[in-house]
Structure 1
């Protein structure tokens, strides 16, 4: 537990020292570029806040391109100030382009902070397409009521027909066909034989 606390404290102290040095370098650059008083102290706060906002956007996983863009801009401003104060730049005679960059930084930081804080995440394209397909899908047709099953007519009982009667009916049918040229129908056969309708139908089926 103590080792872990010592490690955390060491990291915290190192981060605090690095932040203080970077803060001081940014203040010196802003002051040398003509931003005196409280304005010189506001510049390092602006750079560090933009850096933190960009890093937070990268950690959330949304709009990483925007997060990386503003993270690089803020990191370039911080590193540039650190390198410039290492003796590579005469702080007593700051070039005009640096004064322009320092003077224009508030607008850049305001734009970056606003975009990072208020950029809304759009839903995924696949989700939109799936929603459109779901909305455009035609409604299924209404189910038709089931039709009642049609019962087959009951089979009529087979009427026994004597063989002699069938033979006689064949002669009658042959005579009718010879005389009229057409097959004999059941009503005519019934009338000629003088039998009930069921028996006439049974005889006609066997002709």
Structure 2
């Protein structure tokens, strides 16, 4: 899953980006409101972590602009302010969740996972696709109850397909959602990774729709 991290505190942004990367997210960073607003308008993120105190354009204005232009990605707001009217302003602007600084980074990761699950129609952290199960909170896969050993890239691709199971996912969509901005994997690289995943979960579970993309099937 690809997320935008909009935070101007360089030290905090680095710690958050590292933790999110370790949790399996592809992370793009923005250090000011104008950059965040532009990225959120032009890139298809699975979720956004948005600091309200951004320079150039404050987070509430950024969020209000996104929502006014029909951008619907889940947004987790960060702020140093804990007053109720500040929280209310965030929700009124279209925030989906709220964290007051300081906070445990582990909590941010769990809240972000929950927002993405809900946005794709999954409520429970155990996402099932036949015998294939993703424990979203732990970022672990099992097949018929047995743990799967996946590389970080394989994990990102399979997690995205799990969230979109049953739907045809194009190569372009996969590239947009599992890699950071600026990384452009070629088709051969994706084919190699899909091939490796098929060997681990069974080839029939990932169907190739010729000229369209890939579909994850629920099989016993």
Give the shorter-chain TM-score range: under 0.3
Scaled by the length of structure 1, the TM-score of the pair is: 0.22
**Rg comparison, structure with higher value:** 1
* Higher fraction of helix: 1
* TM-score, length-scaled by structure 2: 0.21
Higher relative contact order (CA 8 A, sep 6+): 2
